[in-house]
């Protein structure tokens, strides 16, 4: 349960649950309105029409919450399944060394090197970068609604891609159970000796106040006193995989979304390792996973499912009626 609550909190479950709560209120209101019209004799709504909004609520909650719950249980088992600290430390060190081999420096710590040219720039950009990364969980339900209202096929492909990303990533977490640079090195959650290259990077690492505040929000140590939970879902990055799906389907929906999505995607990608939550290779792997999931979803979904189209027609009809009423 510790792991499930940690990912629910850090993953922004409140936004997804808030979105579902708004949908629930709408669907209950719609059924109540149709029932009132039947009882008052204003319209001869069938019971099928009256119950359709409630069935739609059950359908959407199921397709969203059931995979998330199954995924959460799998992650709970993985992160609390008795992993050896030495195994986790070795996996973390491999990713750190891979970053170094590719980029010739410890990129996650490089942004905040004391006295460096880049530090003042990234100190200034810190709130923007951190919020772009942290609030992906708010961006996801926003585009969930946009896709649903604008294009049923894109919505269905996006939702399917979202869950395929999870399925593709789980095997990597079993094979390479690494902690983030923050947990493995900055906080040293495993209480194990750190590689010399890490010690050298940390010696010149000087996080700004925005990063320190962020670290306080996501720190695992207070609830991890007995090492019952290790968040080893680092490689690949789900943030980047999901952001890749939003970027791709957003651009497919309309080029105008590029003005928001491209800068946001860049900030989110940088934020994944600027916040020490990932190694750079995690983000690269996340991009690959995202595009593979997009390809799989696009192969299996060639058109919008009829049930989705009926839900869209219901919601869009009420939106058009609302716009007509307020414009009178």
Q: Answer whether residue 13 is part of any domain.
A: no
Q: Answer whether residue 259 is part of any domain.
A: yes
| Residue for token pair 């995607």 | 265
- Burial of 186 per CB tally in 10 Å (0-12, 13-18, 19+): buried
Beta bridge partners of 113: 205
Q: Answer whether residue 212 is part of any domain.
A: yes
- Structural domain harbouring 303: 84-327
Mean residue pLDDT of the chain comes to 83
What is the residue-wise DSSP string for 101-143?
HHHSS-HHHHTTBTT-SHHHHHHHHHHHHHHHHHTHHHHHHHH
The answer to whether 150 and 249 have CB atoms below 8 angstroms apart is: no
Question: How many separate domains does the chain show?
Answer: 1
Find, among 209, 197, 207, 179, the residue nearest to 111 by Cα.
207
Q: pLDDT band for position 282 (50/70/90)? A: very high
Q: Answer whether residue 134 is part of any domain.
A: yes
Alpha helices of the chain — where are they, by DSSP H? Answer: 2-10, 13-40, 47-79, 85-103, 107-110, 118-134, 136-150, 152-175, 181, 196-203, 209-218, 238-253, 258-274, 280-300, 306-327
Q: Answer whether residue 100 is part of any domain.
A: yes
Q: Answer whether residue 111 is part of any domain.
A: yes
Q: Answer whether residue 40 is part of any domain.
A: no
- d(CA 46, CA 27) in angstroms, rounded, equals 16
What is the residue-wise DSSP string for 158-172?
HHHHHHHHHHHHHHH
Q: Answer whether residue 217 is part of any domain.
A: yes
Q: What percent of the chain has pLDDT over 90?
A: 31
pLDDT in tens, 109-168: 998 888 889 999 999 999 999 999 988 888 988 998 899 888 989 999 998 998 899 889
């Amino acid at each position: 349960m510790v792991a499930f609550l940690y990912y629910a909190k850090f993953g922004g479950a409140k936004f997804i649950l808030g979105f579902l709560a708004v949908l629930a209120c709408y669907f209950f209101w719609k059924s109540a309105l149709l029932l009132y019209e039947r009882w008052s004799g204003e319209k001869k709504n069938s019971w099928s029409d009256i119950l359709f909004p409630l069935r739609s609520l059950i359908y959407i909650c199921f397709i969203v919450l059931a995979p998330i719950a199954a995924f959460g249980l799998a992650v709970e088992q993985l992160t609390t399944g008795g992993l050896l600290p030495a195994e986790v430390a070795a996996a973390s060190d491999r990713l750190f060394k891979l970053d170094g081999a590719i980029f010739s420096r410890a990129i996650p710590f490089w942004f905040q090197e004391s006295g460096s040219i880049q530090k003042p720039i990234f100190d200034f950009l810190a709130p923007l970068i951190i919020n772009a990364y942290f609030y992906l969980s708010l961006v996801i339900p926003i585009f969930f609604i946009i896709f649903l209202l604008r294009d049923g096929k894109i919505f269905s492909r996006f939702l399917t891609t979202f869950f395929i990303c999870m399925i593709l990533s789980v095997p990597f977490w079993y094979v390479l159970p690494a902690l983030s640079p923050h947990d493995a090195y900055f906080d040293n959650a495993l209480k194990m000796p750190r590689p010399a290259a890490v010690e050298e990077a940390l010696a010149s690492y000087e996080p700004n106040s925005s990063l320190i505040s962020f670290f306080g929000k996501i720190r695992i140590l207070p609830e991890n006193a007995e090492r019952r939970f290790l968040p080893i879902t680092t490689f690949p990055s789900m943030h980047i995989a999901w952001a890749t799906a939003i970027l791709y389907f957003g651009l497919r929906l309309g080029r105008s979304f590029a003005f928001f999505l491209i800068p946001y995607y860049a900030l989110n990608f940088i934020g994944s390792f600027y916040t020490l939550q990932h190694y750079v290779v995690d983000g690269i792997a996340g991009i690959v996973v995202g595009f593979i999931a997009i390809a799989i979803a696009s192969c299996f979904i060639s058109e919008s499912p009829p049930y989705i189209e009926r839900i869209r027609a219901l919601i869009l009809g009420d939106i058009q009626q609302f716009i007509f009423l307020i414009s009178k």
